[in-house]
Amino acid sequence: MQSANQHSASRWWLRFADEASACPACASGRITLLDVFSIPRSAIPGSSERRRLAFITGCHACGLLFSNPLPTPEYLQAYYSNEGDWAKLRAERMTTVEAAKMRRSGRGRSRTTVNLPPKVRALFSALAPYVPVDAPPEGAKVLDFGCGDGKFLNRLQDYGWDTHGIEPSTTDAFLRHRRLTSPPQDRTFDFVVLNHVLEHVVDPFGLLRQLAGALREGGVMFVSVPRLDTLPQHGDLKYCLSGYRHVVCFSETCLKGLLSRAGLAATARLDAKELDEAFTEGKPLRLRMVATRTPHPDPPPAAPLAAAVRALSLHARMSRGLGGRIHYMLPVRFRAALMDRAMKRLFAEQKRRLR
């Protein structure tokens, strides 16, 4: 009888092994299940179970949304390593000619001759009121965490910046720029770039705190992440949270709160129309924040999860109509069980057709 009851509960009230019991950012136990979504079945190798679903979980203390269960740190480290799948998905390795070009430091160039692609020009123009990207003071230092092949650092170095990068998946950038393995806690950097990295890590607050420790007082950080607040407008939930690449996501309220906890004051949100046109075909897909290292950051906001809940709820209603309203009224574990059963039936039918 007990076994039958347990089976019934698993059919109508879905749970996963390794579900998180605390927020990966602030360690608060005040977390709640908000929704369930589909993920590739092989998304999280090494997990104790193979599954096609994950919960969207929110933290009442800091407002973070995260995929639950989360990928293990070991999996993420392997995935983003130099030999991992992330590196394999990138463009082909540079040719010998391209590598030679990368080695040529642009520090001797006249600043008036720097030729910026349209995307970089739009971003530099938006950053100019907050950080002197095209006219740094002598010896100004920049750190790009997750610098990829170093193209962004190339432009900054051409303008005279002392360039440093951190990147586990490729060494291409370090033909030209200084390589670091972790953010130095010496408070000597004038500018830190965190461009679409924060959504990939399971400890976003820890990373922000480390990078804040690298900044001098008054130094500037640029952060760009998928934009959750505008989910009802752009409709791309998988861009905000995918289950194994984008493992956490942020409302503006949440990101401001985490920046504040790390000792940074949010200075501005960069949402010029030119930026969206240059990077995302006009869609409001990205949240771009400028923050400043300060001894007196603003206190974390009240009700930090409210904006995320509002965005998810409105997205469900707009994308599913009346069904979305009903769907969102059901308990999350019950929704998950219904989705799990429907997906199992679908895949079983596909297998039968292939035989």
d(CA 113, CA 354): 61
Strand, coil or helix: 283: coil
Residue 173 φ then ψ, to 5°: -65, -25
pLDDT at 94 over 90: no
pLDDT at 99 over 80: no
Strand, coil or helix: 201: coil
d(CA 69, CA 243): 9
Residue 162: CB atoms within 10 Å: 19
- pLDDT on residue 2: 39
pLDDT (tens digit, 9 = 90+) per residue, 262-293? 999 999 999 888 999 999 999 999 999 999 99
Percent of the chain with pLDDT over 90: 64
d(CA 80, CA 93): 16
Tokens of 231: 């989910």
pLDDT at 216 over 50: yes
Helical pair 273-280 and 118-127, crossing angle rounded to 10 deg: 150
pLDDT at 84 over 70: no
Strand 264-269 relative to strand 141-145, pairing: unpaired
For the chain, the average pLDDT equals: 86
pLDDT (tens digit, 9 = 90+) per residue, 155-165? 999 999 999 99
Residue 150: CB atoms within 10 Å: 24
pLDDT (tens digit, 9 = 90+) per residue, 103-161? 444 444 444 456 788 899 999 999 999 999 999 999 999 999 999 999 999 999 999 99
In the chain, the domains with their CATH numbers are: 2-74+307-354 (no CATH), 109-300 (3.40.50.150)
10: which residues sit within 8 A by CB, 6+ positions away? 337
pTM: 0.87
Max intra-chain CA distance, the chain:
81
